[in-house]
Amino acid sequence: MICAAVAGVFCERCGSPQAEGDHGACGVVRVWEPPRYCAQCGRRLVVQVLPVGWTARCPQHGEVA
């Protein structure tokens, strides 16, 4: 089971571990972007942007909210 504590291990914008490097700039531009990487495992997500909203799916962890 994935426990909530591991969520957010990876940066959803650049895919690097949150603990490595500075992700401040990622956070700023992320306002205008859907997530691109799974926060739990760092894999690239399959993302569909829609006129209103988006969907994203990790091959390992399924739908990302």
Partner 1 sequence: MDDVLARAERVVDEGIGLTESDLRALLEVGDDDLPALLDIAHRVRLRWCGPGVEVEGIVSVKTGGCPEDCHFCSQSGRFDSPVRSAWLDVPALVAAAEQTAATGATEFCIVAAVRGPDEKLMRQVRAAVRAIRETVDINIACSLGILHPDQVAELAELGVHRYNHNLETARSYFPRVVTTHTWEERWETLQLVRSAGMEVCCGGILGMGESLDQRAEFAAQLAELAPDEVPLNFLNPRPGTPFATLPVMPVGEALRAAAMFRLALPRTILRFAGGRELTLGDDGIREALRGGGNGLIVGNYLTTLGRAPQADLALLEELGEPIRSAELSALSKAL
Residue 1 or 62 having the CB closest to partner 1: 62
Interaction of residue 15 with partner 1, rule CB under 8 A? yes
Interaction of residue 20 with partner 1, rule CB under 8 A? no
- Which of 9, 18, 34, 40 touches partner 1 (CB under 8 A)? 34
- Which of 31, 62, 63, 65 touches partner 1 (CB under 8 A)? 31
For residue 9, which of 44, 39, 36, 45 has the smallest C-alpha distance? 39
Burial class (CB in 10 A: 0-12, 13-18, 19+), 48: exposed
